[in-house]
Structure 1
Amino acid sequence: MEEVPESLQSSRQFKTLVLTDLCDSVALVERIGDNAAADLFRTLDAQVMQLLRRWNGRLIDRSDGMFLLFNAPVDGLGFALDYLDVLDRLGKEKKLPLRARLGMHVGYVLSWHNSEEAVAAGAKSLEVEGLAKPMAARLMALARPGQILLSAAAESMMRSAQRELDDRGARLKWKSHGHWHFKGMPSAQEVFEVGREGRAPLRMPPGSEKAWRELPLWRRPLALVTEAVLLLGLLIAAWVIVRPEPAIAFAERNWVLVGGVRNLTGESLLDDSIEQAFRISLEQSRFVNVLSELQVQKTLGLMELDADQAMTARVASEVAIRDGARAVLMARVDEIGNRFRFTVEIINPADGRTLDSLYAEGRGVNSLLASVDTVSGRLRTRLGEPSLALARDSEPLPEVTTSNLEALRAYALALKAMAVRDYVLAENLYRKALEIDPDFALANMGLARIYWSGLDEAPALAQLDAALSHRDRLPPRDQMYLEAWQHELRSAASPLPQWKLLATMYPDYFAGPSNTSWYLIVENRFEEALPFAQAAAVPQDPMRAVPLDHVGRIQLALGKAEQALQTFREAESEGGGKPLRYSGNALAVLGRLDEAQKLLEQIKPAPGNPSSLYASMDRISVALSRSQRAQAVAEAEQASQLSTQYGPDHVVQFKLLEQMTRMLASDAGSSAATLASLRDESVNYARGTGNVRGRQNALFRALVAIHLAQRSGFTASSRRGLDALPRLSELDGPFNLAWMRRLVNATQARLEGRPEESVRLLAPLLDGTEAVQVRVELAAAFDAMGDARSARIHRAWLSENLGRAYVEFNGSQLLQPLNVSDVLEAAGKLRGESASLPRDQAPAPQLPTASLIRPAS
């Protein structure tokens, strides 16, 4: 078969079609004569060419009227209005009745270029055909003189974009003339008129043999009904076969931007609520990703635009390009009679073209949630989501949110308040939503987040339980999120499996990969954590600073301090420029201790924010690294005093930190009585009835108190603590409790003259996730056994893991100063040993020089 020349190949494009007809043109020529008519038409053609340049249109054909194509619906509308103005002005100049009728439609057309031979013989250079063309022609033929008639699809797109016509667009009137049957068309089409009041007819068009208004069934001839039904069936079948695919390259997990939902009904109840419903409906998809409102607001801020102002299609397209969204969705709600319509336009952000328009409508305002579901499903299909996935990942909005629009609006406003950190307003709005619909589980989840972030444990757990009691009223993704939080707050076991499942099922729902990376970091599984942290540290994540912080910690733990410092700098930029304590850690690992100290001094304790106090641990570690004993102790004392404003858990934490610092840097050392008191206080809390996570943290602090007693030489006190330590098996599960129990028992065995038992207890932990203190104790045990070679192996490992010493979580990093001191001590011993070893046996760790005051026991 011969190849079709490129010039004759057809292409399918989504276009705006405008057909015009100059009314009574034959009578006009007869009235003024051929020469005058030719002059008139030349003048009119010149004006039309100017309008086409202004509105980016293309003339395809002309005779008494014109056939024109436009890329954007609003350009076609602008041309039509200007064309009628030109006719009116020219008619007044010539004192002639110049009027035209126009028909407008949007849809797919096929176009191809004729051969040079055909053009030379009189053919047009470009041919355009498609089902959209006769639809525009039927509308044009139906119109009265001076009337612009539109299809429902054209009205939907043009009305939403009329604001781009500035003041003239604001003065337009839109009118529905009901549903009409056109000869040759399979079903009734709703016909609209647009124009300026006082200029446009804004009247019902007259019917004809080729177009008649839809009448009640009892008024139609039976034969007509039968014919229409048969023809409808045939054409629907044909449409199913040849229906076009969307003109956008959209792949699974690509992003879309919801540019807002314009409420044109005057019903304030629909403000915000329908946009939130649309988002929730789309977010059920695992195929389509939706940029969060917080991310859009963040990008608008970078563009120095007001995030509270409604976005135009142009602004939304620019935001989409910046954030990597493949499509912009501009939606609106209209009221036509007592019917409410929800419409969505799909816009290509690269060129601003409208690619498709989808709508659904129903009777009464309460039909809108069903219409949103319908349009969302069609949209997902148009973007390429398989029908099986659509059925699997879609639940009706009233079943997974609320059927009450007032409750939905309160919820939507609460999310907006959360975005600007107005938690008091958000709490009141969530409560209002629950007052209206007590089963609104998403509102319970919102309150749980507020209370938990504010460390208000009891109400947070109460709201969690309320959400769990209505989990069937949540979308599938949010059910998985809720179950992860249930394990986070209620289960003794690590919630890692639940977060990992969420990250696997919904990889672009950033809570999943971000929390997965965190719990892998907690378990020292740094290499495994890295891809999850990187998956969340993408530009589309509005909380990108958090997973970037995770990436930096992982890099630091893996010995990539320079990379880590760059990542922390990026996280600081994302977070508004505030210094991160981990930037100081990276600087310290790189040996830039002066810079580290200067940065860490900028991070001051803040009322109501206990995490701000934890930079004191880093300042202590840096001070110890610089042999600044008094400064380290003073920092620890100050942190202990400040901790009283943050609650009893933090008080115990920082009193233990003070004892640790005194042990490492003070001639007096730690206090046996104080350590015993802190141990007993922690054990009592662990035995209590508080939440399981708090009790687990208390038990870890008790084990740390015992270990500090061991390291301080209070062997009898540590033995009493171990003997009195309860098993509390209901708290078993966390990684740090498992290895810490072994460590204190192993250390006690060595102190009591059984170093072999210490090695036996700790050797099974050497799987790549072992804690720094496990290696420290093994080195001490092998020293006690006289096995210098094995001790040197563990000190070599320690000397290569200063970054890990800073990063290990271990109960909110309580062991960090001890880890850092022990690593630097090991490196110092290794350097001393290397001087007496042959060159090929001497390890050569790359660490900043440090002199520690008090060696490990």
Structure 2
Amino acid sequence: MSAITDIPQVRTLLLTDLVDSTALVERLGDTVAATLFRAHDRIVLELQQRWRGRLIDRSDGLLLIFERPIDGLGFALDYVRGLRDLGREHKQTLQARAGLHVGEVLVWENSVDAVRLGAKSLEVEGLAKPLAGRLMALARPGQILLSATAEPLAHRAARELGERGELLVWKSYGRWRFKGVPEAQEIFEVGEPGLAPLRMPSHTPKAWRDLPLWRRPVALAAETLLLAGLALSGWFLTRPQPAIAFTERDWVVVGDLRNLTGDPRLDDSLEQAFRISLEQSRYVNVLSDLKVRETLQRMQKKADAQVDRAAGSEIALRDGARALLLPTVAEVGGRLRVSAEVIDPRTQTTVYAVTADGKGIESALGSIDDVTDQLREKLGEAMQNVQKTSVPLPNVATPSLDALKAFAVARNMASTTGDREQTLGLYRRALQLDPQFALAHADIARFYASNGEVARSLEEWRKALAIPQRLSPQEKLGIELMVMQHDGPDQYFRKADQYLALYPDDYRTIGRLATNTWHQRNDFRAAEALVRRTLVPQYERVALSHDTVGTYLLAQEKYDAALIEYRKARDLGLSAYAEYYARAFDVRGQHAEADKVYMASTSGRDGWKGEAAVVTWLDRGQPADAAKAAQAWASKADADGDALESLRARAAIASLAVLSGEGDASAAVRDLLAALDAKGAEAEAIYPPVAVELRLYAGLLAGSRDDRAGVDAALRRTQDSAVVRDYPTVGQLQQVVLAEQERLAGKPQAAIARLSPLAKRDTALVAVHWALMRAAQASGDKLAAKAQAEWLATHRGRVFVEATTAEVLRFFNIAVSGEAIRNRARTGG
């Protein structure tokens, strides 16, 4: 037997039970029942493959494990529908109960000998398993019940189910008690109208609703009489107090802190501390300082204008915030008092105020924690949640007011002037004063990342994580996500789902998740759905979100819709990131208009340069100019010591030599491979999949010139790499190179069989369609080859936008698409 791993894994468990299966066998007889169950098993097998599930156990029901809740839900929904259709064929009513839960489990493989003796191949144990079983047992026939852990994760991803996901009904049935489970659990149902019961489950001996005492039948009768007697007199004795209709995840604006002490150390430091303390809440959302400054500019005020009662109220109304908070610090009766007013932005009146007093300046941070805790409770957050999620400011930030002052000034400078040396100098000063200031490392990492310095930002993220006791739970999870972007995507996507279940309004994280969905999964529809969640007035980068939506629409060939989004972004003030906006004109051959919008952006003031220039001249049939741009790009990358950009530039040079005849193809590919040997490890330290993708890309170029030895070498160098398994786009690229190997070996039908399933997916690489076209040509299937050539000629948005992990396939895509267009023009169709 194999040993049980001691590391729990978060997985989705689905338990189902076929209703009245024993009675069904009795009615049908063994022979007919066996035929029906064989058909049932075929449905289960097909759904397992479709939804990437593993069957752990089965008898009258099924136990399956999935990586993601949406996959488990997709299986359950299709299983309910499949049972209905199977029952109609056999003139029977077939229904199942289903319970879906996400939790930690221990998973282990049994040995071959144990399986031979009757053991299951895979074992799953853990508390998540009986809870899924309790949900399943509680469900009515045809009902799918979800735990409170599974529901938000599945609900958020429901768009991945297509149109059906928009028609689903989601219902909460409150908190329930399960026998053997110590804590009450909230349960949910999801189903399709007409198929699902969509009714409250019935109590069972092992499950009952967790009703408060006052809602139980005997208490209700007494309370009704009492309330009737008190209602009328209570109306006259009470008057409603000023209040704000604040609900969970509503937004607040934090105004400028008024420092009445005269001590300059408190000016910036306490305002930043107030934000850090309040931002720990999962109940209250705080409008970012960047968004506040951006809105001030839209109000035609200076970005550093004071956010007082009047200005803060207007910001709140413009950006959909429910309240304005105005903090103050003052000396009162020899004590340091920190206070905060809650302002109704509609009337600019104070709804209520909270205060905390302390002795001396060293009490300020503790008083801020006290004030923000009071605010959270008054805004409606449960006190137990406040206590559970609040980490004292000296622990989550710094006990040093001087360090906090340097940090606050650095953060303000980073978001305004962006002066590199001054900003980094102030952050380093904060770290000199407090070497354990983890948030300072995190901010330095963000600053490096915003300037494209990936290796340095990664180093700072890791320094922050090395001081976990000085990070809030949200900050720690967020930094872990930033680091995990450079590891396998499956782990990253799971962690992102868990993070966003806790912090669903972290729009920056949603935007990064969308970008990773684009680069690592080539799934533009899912990426678009994600980034549309950030099109809200509270997000400081909403203009960039519109631009990004435009790019995902461009990749789906929705050119007019893309242009609408790009124009919205410019109307909101976005002045950079114009390359893809230009491509929305290039796809239609409107190159002058493309140049116009690109040159009007901050990124295009000096004309087409670097990668953008290579793409532009290659697409416009000027390969010599593209080759010059690629050489200039490589020279600059080498001078900057940027290994990753140097490798990508050499991939562009090799692409132009092989696909457009600009240079010695053999020498250019050799140069790329030599650079990979020299710099691959350095690039992999920043982003692990780069070297493997570039080797496979060299194999793709070899296949395009019928260089069988080059194809074999690329496959040999990458065959044992975990990157191929872990990164979907790299895995697809390997399949393309394998298909080229089969074509060159005289086995085009094998290549077609390999690629055809991939080509049917929306996430298929452009190279998949190209290789399928080549295989069809080699097999003599002119019709199939023409269909793929037509795809290459018409999917111009995908050709430009497809990025993958190393972002080099664009050169290949543009070359082969251009060739398909020229061939179509020559042949007249």
The answer to whether TM tops 0.5 is yes
- Matched residue, 1:571: 569
Change in CA separation of 1:303 and 1:457 when aligned onto 2, cut-off 3 Å: closer
* Structure 2 counterparts to residues 280-679 of structure 1, below 5 A: 280-420=276-416, 421-454=418-451, 456=453, 459-489=456-486, 495-522=492-519, 523-574=521-572, 576-578=574-576, 580-600=578-598, 613-624=610-621, 628-646=622-640, 647-666=642-661, 670-679=664-673
One-letter identity of the residue aligned with 1:417: M
Question: Per-residue displacement from partner, 1:204-238 (whole Å, max 9, x unpaired)?
Answer: xxxxxxxxxxxxxxxxxxxxxxxxxxxxxxxxxx9
Secondary structure of the corresponding residue to residue 305 of structure 1: coil
Secondary structure of the corresponding residue to residue 256 of structure 2: strand
Q: C-alpha displacement at 1:263, in angstroms?
A: 0.7
The answer as to whether partners of 2:702 and 2:711 remain within 8 angstroms in 1 is yes
- Matched residue, 2:800: 806
Q: C-alpha displacement at 1:458, in angstroms?
A: 5.7
Q: C-alpha displacement at 1:449, in angstroms?
A: 2.5
Q: Distance in 2 between matches of 1:732 and 1:555?
A: 28
- Matched residue, 2:250: 254
- Matched residue, 1:794: 788
Q: Distance in 2 between matches of 1:452 and 1:480?
A: 18
One-letter identity of the residue aligned with 1:595: E
Q: Distance in 2 between matches of 1:403 and 1:731?
A: 47
Secondary structure of the corresponding residue to residue 254 of structure 2: strand
Q: C-alpha displacement at 1:678, in angstroms?
A: 0.8
The answer as to whether partners of 1:320 and 1:327 remain within 8 angstroms in 2 is yes
One-letter identity of the residue aligned with 2:676: S
Confirm or deny that 1:770 pairs with 2:792.
no
One-letter identity of the residue aligned with 1:802: R
Confirm or deny that 1:706 pairs with 2:714.
no
Q: Distance in 1 between matches of 2:816 and 2:594?
A: 19
TM-score by length of 2: 0.66
Q: Where in structure 2 are there 5+ consecutive unaligned residues?
A: 1-233
Q: C-alpha displacement at 1:267, in angstroms?
A: 1.8
Q: Distance in 2 between matches of 1:661 and 1:462?
A: 35
Q: Report the aligned-residue RMSD.
A: 3.1
Change in CA separation of 1:499 and 1:547 when aligned onto 2, cut-off 3 Å: farther
Change in CA separation of 1:777 and 1:685 when aligned onto 2, cut-off 3 Å: same
- Matched residue, 1:740: 733
- Matched residue, 1:104: none
Q: C-alpha displacement at 1:829, in angstroms?
A: 5.5
The answer as to whether partners of 1:652 and 1:678 remain within 8 angstroms in 2 is yes
Change in CA separation of 1:614 and 1:633 when aligned onto 2, cut-off 3 Å: closer
One-letter identity of the residue aligned with 2:747: R
The alignment covers a number of residue pairs equal to 590
The answer as to whether partners of 1:344 and 1:375 remain within 8 angstroms in 2 is yes
Q: C-alpha displacement at 1:796, in angstroms?
A: 4.5
The answer as to whether partners of 1:585 and 1:618 remain within 8 angstroms in 2 is no
Change in CA separation of 1:491 and 1:402 when aligned onto 2, cut-off 3 Å: farther
The answer as to whether partners of 2:441 and 2:463 remain within 8 angstroms in 1 is yes
Question: Per-residue displacement from partner, 1:51-72 (whole Å, max 9, x unpaired)?
Answer: xxxxxxxxxxxxxxxxxxxxxx
Q: Distance in 1 between matches of 2:598 and 2:305?
A: 39
Question: Per-residue displacement from partner, 1:333-355 (whole Å, max 9, x unpaired)?
Answer: 11113311111111121221222
Q: Distance in 2 between matches of 1:604 and 1:256?
A: 33
Change in CA separation of 1:573 and 1:664 when aligned onto 2, cut-off 3 Å: farther
Change in CA separation of 1:610 and 1:258 when aligned onto 2, cut-off 3 Å: farther
**Larger radius of gyration, structure 1 or 2?**
1
Q: Distance in 2 between matches of 1:683 and 1:644?
A: 15
Q: Distance in 2 between matches of 1:388 and 1:696?
A: 44
Q: Distance in 1 between matches of 2:820 and 2:579?
A: 25
Question: Per-residue displacement from partner, 1:400-439 (whole Å, max 9, x unpaired)?
Answer: 2222222222221121111121232222222222222222
Q: Distance in 1 between matches of 2:241 and 2:728?
A: 52
Confirm or deny that 1:269 pairs with 2:262.
no
Change in CA separation of 1:527 and 1:459 when aligned onto 2, cut-off 3 Å: closer
Q: Distance in 2 between matches of 1:690 and 1:579?
A: 24
Q: Distance in 2 between matches of 1:482 and 1:612?
A: 33
Question: Per-residue displacement from partner, 1:662-687 (whole Å, max 9, x unpaired)?
Answer: 44434x6651122022123214533x
One-letter identity of the residue aligned with 2:578: L
Q: Distance in 2 between matches of 1:699 and 1:250?
A: 51
- Matched residue, 1:696: 689
The answer as to whether partners of 1:683 and 1:725 remain within 8 angstroms in 2 is no
* Structure 2 counterparts to residues 169-180 of structure 1, below 5 A: none
The answer as to whether partners of 1:623 and 1:632 remain within 8 angstroms in 2 is no
Q: Distance in 1 between matches of 2:575 and 2:626?
A: 27
- Matched residue, 2:748: 755
Q: C-alpha displacement at 1:637, in angstroms?
A: 4.6
Q: C-alpha displacement at 1:366, in angstroms?
A: 2.1
* Structure 2 counterparts to residues 143-162 of structure 1, below 5 A: none
The answer as to whether partners of 2:654 and 2:665 remain within 8 angstroms in 1 is yes
Q: Distance in 1 between matches of 2:674 and 2:336?
A: 67
One-letter identity of the residue aligned with 1:652: L
Q: C-alpha displacement at 1:584, in angstroms?
A: 1.0
- Matched residue, 1:819: 813
Change in CA separation of 1:690 and 1:821 when aligned onto 2, cut-off 3 Å: closer
Q: C-alpha displacement at 1:656, in angstroms?
A: 2.2
Secondary structure of the corresponding residue to residue 402 of structure 1: coil
* Structure 2 counterparts to residues 196-211 of structure 1, below 5 A: none
The answer as to whether partners of 1:282 and 1:290 remain within 8 angstroms in 2 is yes
Q: Distance in 1 between matches of 2:284 and 2:747?
A: 61
Q: Distance in 1 between matches of 2:274 and 2:331?
A: 18
Q: C-alpha displacement at 1:507, in angstroms?
A: 2.1
The answer as to whether partners of 1:362 and 1:368 remain within 8 angstroms in 2 is yes
Change in CA separation of 1:323 and 1:587 when aligned onto 2, cut-off 3 Å: same
The answer as to whether partners of 2:513 and 2:530 remain within 8 angstroms in 1 is yes
Q: C-alpha displacement at 1:778, in angstroms?
A: 1.0
The answer as to whether partners of 1:707 and 1:744 remain within 8 angstroms in 2 is yes
The answer as to whether partners of 1:284 and 1:475 remain within 8 angstroms in 2 is yes
Change in CA separation of 1:245 and 1:393 when aligned onto 2, cut-off 3 Å: farther
Secondary structure of the corresponding residue to residue 271 of structure 1: helix
Q: Distance in 2 between matches of 1:374 and 1:568?
A: 45
One-letter identity of the residue aligned with 2:700: H
Change in CA separation of 1:270 and 1:604 when aligned onto 2, cut-off 3 Å: closer
- Higher deviation after alignment, 761-770 or 329-338: 761-770
Confirm or deny that 1:782 pairs with 2:776.
yes
- Matched residue, 1:76: none
One-letter identity of the residue aligned with 1:659: A
Q: C-alpha displacement at 1:764, in angstroms?
A: 4.3
Secondary structure of the corresponding residue to residue 260 of structure 1: coil
Q: Distance in 1 between matches of 2:401 and 2:602?
A: 45
Q: C-alpha displacement at 1:508, in angstroms?
A: 1.7
The answer as to whether partners of 2:323 and 2:342 remain within 8 angstroms in 1 is yes
